Structure 1
Amino acid sequence: MKAVVVTSKGRTELQDFPVPEASSGHVVVKVRHPSTTAIALNPTDWKHRDFVAPPGSWLGCDFCGTVESVGDGVSHLQKGDRVAAFVHGGQWPGEGSFAEYIKVQASLVWKVSETIGDEEAAAAGGIGPWTAIQALFFRLPIDTPWNPNKEGEPFLVWGGATSVGLYAIQLLKLSGYTVVTTASEKNAELLKSLGATAVYSYSDKDTPAKIAKDYPTLRYALDTIAEGKTTVGAVKSIWDAAGMGKVITLLVNKDDELKQYKDKVPAEMTLVYTVLGVAFDWPGVSFPEMPEDKRQMEEWCAKHIPELVASGKLKPNPIKSFDGGLANITEGLDYIKAGKNRAQKVTYKI
């Protein structure tokens, strides 16, 4: 089999490896022709390639494929099942979705229905929707799609056109919230079609004040960008509205301006890899095993994600398909690095 390997900072190479074996509690998923085959790319992939991944580590997170082999103790999956998920690519040798076969924890894949295609399933496979699920339902005391909010409470998604933002808007709408978001004007109609009630310009310095005026009971926000002043914007929206609440971010933001709000509107980072239940190091931070994160995500994989996707209630991101397979993965990574992938998901058939 072939896999994409980080050889040095910013550089990758397609190399040959033995096909992995399914150990206890794991399955091996085939992600190459003539199986159902696709991978999806995320900003974290090029960031790992350029800054984080040690030489020799495999790259890639999201995938859709068919179960090739099943390890001991796995009873809910069998060879030929069509599944999707994500792995922590860019961290270790032997784990990455930019490969023809992928070894993955059996409890952290979800069965894909025939109602969606391979690339759509890979787009919904893991990083984007799982980050939204973790940030919203694991980190905040909010209602769920099966027990929705009865008051239509407002919720702010700063950066609605990101991959995570697109999923967060849908999940919040399903959970009964009035979804407020920021984006460029060209993406406003797409976000409204997914469930956003109001879309504000992310580049307007007065946007926090406008949001607070229009939604004075706003208490919670998700910042899907977490760069520059985005976290400050989300925090100020709540501060000027309800005066207290919480913001979840996807990166650490050390902006000094946040200090004046932290007692009433703290900004807390979350990182989706903790749902995999494995300790790992991140630049400047060591993350321990988080068994409760894993337990909750296992429940979502078994009960909720398959139904939400199959029913069309949770729609995959719009697809931007690239040709050339694993040998051309650099083109897609650089496309995302250049910031060209707003409101779309880069995918490849392998």
Structure 2
Amino acid sequence: MSNTMKAVVVTARGKTELKDVPVPSPSAGEILVQTRAIAVNPTDYNELLFLTFLRAGHSVLTLFPSRDFLAPEGSWLGCDYMGVVSKLGEGVTNVKEGDRVAGFVHGGAWEGEGWAEYIKAQASLVWKVPDNLSDEEGAAAAGVGPWTVIQAFYFRLKLATPANPTKEAEPVLIWGGSTSTGLYGIQFLKASGYTPIVTASEKNFDKLKQLGAAACYSYSDPDVASKIAKDYPKLRYALDTISEGKTTVTAVKAISQAAGKGKVITLLTNKDEELKQFADSVPAEPTLLYTVLGVEFEWPGVKFPASPEDKAAMEGWMPLLPDLFKSGTIKPNPILPFDGGLANITEGLDYVKSGKQSAQKVVYKV
């Protein structure tokens, strides 16, 4: 194996370059993974988007008060990966060399974690990809989408899990059912005994119902909150995968008009003044997946301490994911393959940024 490899490095604000960097060596409790496929997430292009605005002299906090993303120059971009274990660090026993594994790292935060030919990862935060999934499907299921669902539903809302499903078939709303997180959310809710209801564009209704959505509502319908509340008067919980504009407010109103009390988990902080009147009965609380890595990190003006609780909880899910995917209980997002590998990553980022991606996942072979 060569001592150098290719990695997607942030070289200037809003720009990346495929550069030669040293192959990392795993420390105790870590593994080195030879990457076979990667997947693109909105969080990946957001890192560069905000750098571009900064370069133009704008304030990120002014333009995007709920998004404090910033990829410093020299950091490596990218989160989701699938590959083969190449080397074990001291003390690693849960995987062996040659195992197919998947996971995610904190791309865009610092040098050494992101899309590269080899990725160094915490051994306790990878899961073994079953043989019925291709490399690209493994990347599509690697981390950000399903792990965000796990964190939101089971860590934050304390819902019943697939291992011990509820018998009540309680409704749970997903705002943005055709997002990557939404697609996984539908399946995890169904596997956990809940009744998934979603908002989406009408073109995706059939696909979402095939995954298990009991009802689909148009997100553009001005009466969507009251219609959901009327159809599901016991609604108490929601996950807002969009968290922009009035999406959170509308999800909160649906619960308020239904059960009257509950909680909405968001993927971004929403400071809409209208939410204050519901703060006591239907609070909207953000969740941030990077906390499961158990490492302190900082975004502009905001420090996030290490969360050993989140990390330990996610570690407990790693042995469960292979069986969920092997059995077909959870299916990977439909993949949209792009050619060119790491050298052509900008095309995939631009595609996701354009909003063209819908009910599918942009993936690359490496």
| Bin of the TM-score, shorter chain as denominator length | over 0.9
Shift in Å at residue 141 of structure 1? 2.4
Structure 1 CA distance for aligned equivalents of residues 272 and 281 of structure 2:
16
Corresponding residue for residue 275 of structure 2: 258
Deviation track 1:211-252 (CA, whole Å, cap 9, x = no partner) reads 000000100000000001100111000000011100000000
Structure 2 CA distance for aligned equivalents of residues 178 and 79 of structure 1:
41
Corresponding residue for residue 239 of structure 1: 256
Corresponding residue for residue 38 of structure 1: 37
Do residues 305 (structure 1) and 321 (structure 2) align? Answer: yes
Shift in Å at residue 49 of structure 1? 2.0
Amino acid at match of 2:180: S
Among 231, 245, 249, the alignment partner of 1:228 is 245
Amino acid at match of 2:158: P
**How do 1:28-67 residues align onto structure 2 when only pairs under 5 Å count?**
28-31=32-35, 37-51=36-50, 52-67=70-85
Among 94, 106, 109, the alignment partner of 1:88 is 106
Shift in Å at residue 147 of structure 1? 1.2
**Contact kept in structure 2, 1:11 and 1:50, CA below 8 Å:** no
Percent identity at matched positions?
Answer: 66
Structure 1 CA distance for aligned equivalents of residues 304 and 38 of structure 2:
26
TM-score, normalization: structure 2? 0.93
SS at match of 2:164: coil
Aligned residues: 343
Structure 2 CA distance for aligned equivalents of residues 100 and 275 of structure 1:
24
Which 4+ runs in 1 deviate beyond 2 A?
Answer: 282-285
Structure 1 CA distance for aligned equivalents of residues 165 and 98 of structure 2:
36
Do residues 215 (structure 1) and 232 (structure 2) align? Answer: yes
Structure 2 CA distance for aligned equivalents of residues 213 and 8 of structure 1:
51
Corresponding residue for residue 7 of structure 1: 11
Amino acid at match of 2:27: S
**Contact kept in structure 2, 1:65 and 1:84, CA below 8 Å:** yes
SS at match of 1:147: coil
Structure 2 CA distance for aligned equivalents of residues 137 and 156 of structure 1:
15
Structure 1 CA distance for aligned equivalents of residues 76 and 99 of structure 2:
24
TM-score, normalization: structure 1? 0.97
Structure 2 CA distance for aligned equivalents of residues 88 and 100 of structure 1:
16
Do residues 347 (structure 1) and 343 (structure 2) align? Answer: no
Do residues 203 (structure 1) and 220 (structure 2) align? Answer: yes
Corresponding residue for residue 88 of structure 2: 70
SS at match of 1:176: coil
Corresponding residue for residue 173 of structure 1: 190
Structure 1 CA distance for aligned equivalents of residues 83 and 109 of structure 2:
22
Shift in Å at residue 50 of structure 1? 2.4
Structure 1 CA distance for aligned equivalents of residues 118 and 158 of structure 2:
38
Shift in Å at residue 181 of structure 1? 0.4
Amino acid at match of 1:253: N
CA RMSD of aligned residues (A): 0.8
Q: Which runs of 5+ in 2 are unaligned?
A: 51-69
Corresponding residue for residue 25 of structure 2: 21
Corresponding residue for residue 354 of structure 2: 338
